[in-house]
Amino acid sequence: MFPPQAGSYDAAGLIEVLEQMTVFHRGEQVVLVWDGLSTHWSREMPAWGAEQDWLTLERLPAYVPELNPVELL
């Protein structure tokens, strides 16, 4: 879903990608489940997410790798 880039995404980069999602979801509700990465829960992300009527941000519980397949790699 996220286009490859050198380095990691910051909050501004994630917001830019999520804004591009509006082309694909066409008015449908989107629930995004994220792990506890600091960029996902920086001050900017939840504030921006709260302003989006199409988006719900959910956080995975800490220390539950079976719910986050990337942790099993």
Tokens, residue 53: 């009527």
* Torsion (CA) 46, 51, 56, 62 in degrees, nearest 10: 10
Residue 66 belongs to some domain of the structure:
yes
Domain hosting residue 41, numbered range: 11-15+27-72
Encoded tokens for 43: 């001050």
Tens of each residue's pLDDT in the chain, 73 residues: 556 777 888 899 889 988 988 888 888 999 999 888 888 889 999 999 999 999 999 998 887 878 877 776 6
pTM of the full structure: 0.73
Whether 31 is covered by a domain: the verdict is yes
Within a domain: 22? no
3, part of any domain? no
Domain count, the chain: 1
Burial class, 4, CB count within 10 angstroms (exposed 0-12 / middle 13-18 / buried 19+): exposed
Contact 15, 40 (CB under 8 A): no
In a domain, 4, yes or no: no
Given a contact cutoff of 8 angstroms between Cβ atoms, the answer to whether 35 and 65 are in contact is no
Does any domain span residue 21? no
Query: What is the model's pLDDT at position 48?
Result: 95
Q: Per the domain annotation, does 2 fall within a domain?
A: no
Element (H, E) at 38: none
